[in-house]
Amino acid sequence: MNDRLRPRLVAPAFYAVALALATFIIANANEASRAYESVSAQESVSAKTDRALRKVLETLSLGLYGGATELSGRLADAVDVAQFHEARAAGTGWLLLGLSAAFLAFVVMTEKAGRRRASARIIRHFFGVSAVFLLVGLLAPILTVVVHEEITLLGRVVLQHESKGIITTIHKLFLVQNYFVALLLVVFSVLLPALKIILSLIALHVGHARTRRTSVFVVKTIGRWSMTDVFVVAVLLAFLTADTAQLTDATLGPGLYFFAGYGLLSIAAGQMMIGYEGRSAGVSVTHDQ
């Protein structure tokens, strides 16, 4: 089979599967977050006090009153649900990463050796995979913070549970009227990454030299801010984990890893764009998928 036909047949199937997996990761990661929030609510001071009182009544009634057993069963069920969705999100995340790596390796290997450093097809698919990663990075949780304390007789109680993603954080910032920080996140974590991908694809597909040069110029300009979105997320993480007390647990979510994956792929594709533009200067762009 022609070397160009194989990627053309494989690519649509890959992106269909990748988008399905991305949706599955986002849904399960957010469901796990909600389930863990339910678990934390049942580990609050009031909930544990109520459960302790019910346990006393259950003991005094010789088991005739089963309120404590019922609440403990609900807690165990909530933990099982949370762990189930968390495991599915993690497993699917690894599957998406492995599939993406295999697809990009396939694209590179099926390109002629002399054209790999400046191939529109390779660059296009690097940006395509980075767009899938960006979707997960924006919509899946990036960090979960649990503040807890040890209380006599009750044991470990949860004081606060916060699970944040980039989009949910932006939404909350707008709700509390913190417009400046919200707009920073929108610009550097949503608009600029999306604009970079769109303009890069335009530069790869448009045959008009002036339009291509303009698109590449804007992409290079955006590339100067390539670390800003990472910095913004780092500041967000630092803000959310500002309390360094021993009673604060912070867990990274799949959104952070995929957002970082987007950044790495985007930087790599941007570097390849420089070589592609140098090769294509003064020459009409050809569609070589």
pLDDT at residue 284 tops 50: no
**Cβ neighbours around 57 below 10 Å, total:** 14
- For the segment 193-245, what is each residue's pLDDT rounded down to a tens digit? 888 888 777 777 665 556 656 666 666 666 655 555 555 556 555 555 555 44
- For the segment 154-202, what is each residue's pLDDT rounded down to a tens digit? 778 888 888 888 898 888 889 888 888 788 888 888 888 888 888 777 7
Tokens of 269: 């594709």
pTM for the whole thing? 0.82
pLDDT at residue 43 tops 70: yes
Q: What is the DSSP string of 232-274?
A: HHHHHHHHHT----TTEEEEE-HHHHHHHHHHHHHHHHHHHHH
Distance CA 50, CA 123 (A): 59
Burial class of residue 179 in the structure, from the number of CB atoms within 10 Å of its CB (0-12 exposed, 13-18 middle, 19+ buried)? exposed
How far from 107 is each of 7, 132, 201, 262, 285, CA to CA, in Å? 6, 17, 17, 18, 19
How far from 150 is each of 43, 86, 247, CA to CA, in Å? 11, 26, 9
- For the segment 121-145, what is each residue's pLDDT rounded down to a tens digit? 888 899 999 999 999 999 999 888 8
Amino acid in position 29: A
- For the segment 84-123, what is each residue's pLDDT rounded down to a tens digit? 999 999 999 999 999 999 999 998 888 776 666 667 788 8
Distance CA 204, CA 128 (A): 12
Helix (H, G, I), strand (E, B) or coil at 34: helix
Is 246 in contact with 150 (CB distance < 8 Å)? no
